[in-house]
Amino acid sequence: MAELQIEDKQMSTPTSTLSAKPAVRRTAHAKRPLVAAPRLPQARTRIVAPSLKVADAAAAQVFAAARLRGPIARDVIAQSTGLSIATVNRQVTSLLEAGVLRERADLAVSGAIGRPRVPVEVNHEPFLTLGIHIGARTTSIVATDLLGRTLDVVETPTPRGAQSAALASLANSARRYLSRWHRRRPLWVGVASGGVVDSITGYLDHPRLGWSDAPVGPVLADALGLPVSVASHVDAMAGAELLLGGRKQPATDTFKATERTSLYVYARETVGYALSIGGRVHSPASGPGTIAALPTQSELLGGSGQLESTVSDEAVLIAARKARIIPVEGPGSTLQALLKVARGGNEKAQELLTERARVLGEAVALLRDMLNPDELVVGGQAFTEYPEGMAEVEAAFARRSVMPAREIRLTAFGNRVQEAGAGVVSLGGIYADPIGAMRRAQPRRPEATA
């Protein structure tokens, strides 16, 4: 059983009830009947569907302006959002009272009279949110501030074995991690995972981990006493581009997200895609679509005829071992070792990674031609760990697409996209309704069961 090794003698193991379910579950699986079971009162009220959208409520707009452009004066907020100065003043007052904004009197314009010219900014230092990315092999636990910046991250092998024990290990790791943050108050927990997520109840089916109806959200809510949101990991990464990517791009582009569609394509150990439409990540009730079986062809990468089993990390490693580019086992039998060999001039290794880039470029072209988004973004280590291959991705895309030329943008988060995805799930509820979120996040003692 894998678990984060975080030392804290005062930390106790959570004793959450792992098998109980809400009284009536709404499930992402249309074929599965509704299930009646004992209710988890605290966990049920603490599960909040993720908000992966550009919110249009007045408080959310004011908070976003301060987050993306602060310190910022109230009249500038009014200009950038289109809200009246009276509305901005009311919302700033409420956000100051909630504790998520603070005034910067030291930055007030010299000679100005009255509070409207005192800039405000996000009061990020007292708070953090906790993001958890559950990968097929590795789980990341991430601390994020209210500006969307990663404060710290730890990684561990994803817990294996019995589902209940794996969830207990995950919850215990999260509690130990939070115990390190003595000067910041945790507000929210966001979970991003592969598999099929029921975001209403926080349950998860993850066949690769052997999890079925896994109560990920309820277990964490009981263990941590905080609101918990659970999202598909590719939706979460698309949400990070939508809500956090603006920090890495020109401020003038901030509020144009609601005017375009964006296609996000992910590849690493798994492949997936997500659509953002009109400033909102499209998350179907039946779960995300799949491109794992998208038809492709590459004898060099195994000839399976399906995208995921052709371009996944494991597929590339199998091909590299078969070609004797890297050893069959041992420390030299990893993807990092293959990348090092390729960069050292090994032509076979370079050919293998270039072939992966070609297949990915053609797959992106097929998706683009079907969906025709305004913006095209790719992410995941299949793209970012070998940037030398992006030229071939773009060339294969251009050859395969039958539509006019379109730029492919690499994710703003590089190899940290999983962390950004988990972080934005933990922040989405705060960004959508900062005042209501602060009420939800009032500390509660985690329940203990005998």
Residues 290, 286: Cα–Cα separation, whole Å:
12
The answer to whether residue 25 sits within a structural domain is no
Note the pLDDT of residue 23: 36
**Three-state DSSP state, 75:** helix
Residues 69, 80: Cα–Cα separation, whole Å:
10
Note the pLDDT of residue 12: 35
Higher pLDDT, 284 or 138: 138
Note the pLDDT of residue 255: 45
pLDDT per position as a tens digit, 336-385: 999 999 999 999 999 999 999 999 999 999 999 999 999 999 999 999 99
The tally of domains found in the chain comes to 3
385, 379, 422, 52 alpha-carbon torsion, rounded to 10°: 170
pLDDT per position as a tens digit, 120-141: 999 999 999 999 999 988 999 9
Domain boundary at 88, 104, 122, which? 122
Same domain flag for 177 and 196: yes
Note the pLDDT of residue 285: 75
Residues 131, 394: Cα–Cα separation, whole Å:
32
Please, are residues 236 and 423 in contact by the beta-carbon 8 Å criterion?
Answer: no
Residue 131 is part of which domain span? 125-241+418-437
The answer to whether residue 195 sits within a structural domain is yes
Ramachandran quadrant class, 414 (left: phi over 0; alpha: psi -120 to 50; beta: rest): left
Mean of the per-residue pLDDT values of the chain: 87
* DSSP-assigned letter for residue 403: S
Domain boundary at 102, 122, 142, which? 122
Same domain flag for 90 and 130: no
User: Is the pLDDT confidence value at 53 over 80?
Assistant: yes
Residues 92, 89: Cα–Cα separation, whole Å:
5
pLDDT per position as a tens digit, 153-177: 999 999 999 999 999 999 999 999 9
Same domain flag for 288 and 358: yes
The amino acid at residue 119 is P
For residue 319, the number of C-alpha atoms closer than 13 Å in the C-beta half-sphere is 25
Residues 285, 17: Cα–Cα separation, whole Å:
27
The answer to whether residue 103 sits within a structural domain is yes
User: Is the pLDDT confidence value at 32 over 90?
Assistant: no
Note the pLDDT of residue 377: 97
pLDDT band at 107 (very low <50, low <70, confident <90, very high): confident
- Sequence-ordered list of residues with C-beta below 8 angstroms from that of 126, at least 6 positions apart, any chain: 99, 183, 184, 185
Of 449, 445, 417, 387, the closest CA to residue 221 belongs to 445
* CATH number of the domain encompassing residue 116: 1.10.10.10
* DSSP-assigned letter for residue 408: P
Note the pLDDT of residue 249: 47
**Chain-centre distance for alpha carbon 319:** 30
pLDDT band at 445 (very low <50, low <70, confident <90, very high): low
Same domain flag for 132 and 109: no
Higher pLDDT, 149 or 34: 149
User: Is the pLDDT confidence value at 334 over 80?
Assistant: yes
pLDDT band at 8 (very low <50, low <70, confident <90, very high): very low
Q: For 215-219, what is the mean pLDDT?
A: 97
The answer to whether residue 8 sits within a structural domain is no
Note the pLDDT of residue 289: 84
Q: What's the token pair of residue 77?
A: 């907020």
* CATH number of the domain encompassing residue 274: 3.30.420.40
The answer to whether residue 47 sits within a structural domain is no
Note the pLDDT of residue 26: 39
| Percent of the chain predicted with pLDDT > 70 | 84
Note the pLDDT of residue 222: 95
Note the pLDDT of residue 336: 95
User: Is the pLDDT confidence value at 311 over 60?
Assistant: yes
Domain boundary at 84, 106, 122, which? 122
User: Is the pLDDT confidence value at 115 over 80?
Assistant: no
User: Is the pLDDT confidence value at 39 over 60?
Assistant: no
